[in-house]
Structure 1
Amino acid sequence: MSLAGIENEDQLELALSEPGPEAIAAMRDVPGDIALLGCGGKMGPTLARMALRATEAAGVSRRVIAVSRFSDAAVRDRLESWGVETCSGDLLDEEFLRSLPDVPNVIYMAGRKFGAAGNLPLTWAMNVHLPALVAQRYSDSRLIAFSTGNVYGTVDRRTGGSVESDEPNPVGEYAMSCLGRERMFQHFSDVQSTPTVLLRLNYACEFRYGVLVDLAEQVASGQTIDLAMSYVNVIWQGDANSRTLAALPLAESPAKLLNLAGPEILRVRDVCERLGELLGHPVRFTGDENDDALLNSAVEADAQWGPPRVGVDDLLQGIAAWLQRGGERLGKPTHFEVRDGTF
Structure 2
Amino acid sequence: MKKIDIYNHVMPQRYLEMMKQHSKDAGIVKRMTSLRMLWDIEHRVEMLKQFPDVQQVLTLSLPSPEALGDAELSPQLARIANDDMAAMVQRWPDRFPAFVAALPMNNIPAALQEMDRAIGELGARGIQLSTNINGRPLDDPEFYPVFERATAHHGVPIWMHPARPATRSDYPTETKSKYEIWQVLGWPYETSAAMARIVFSGLFDRLPEMRIITHHCGGMIPYFSGRAETLWAQLGSRSADENYEDILKRMAKKPIEYFRMFFGDTVLGGSASALRCGLDFFGPDKVVFASDCPFDPEGGPMFIREGMRSIESLNLSDEDKRKIYLLNALKLLGMKE
TM-score in same-fold range (> 0.5): no
Give TM class, smaller chain: 0.3 to 0.5
Q: Which has the higher contact order (CA 8 A, sep 6+)?
A: 1
Higher percent of residues as strand? 1
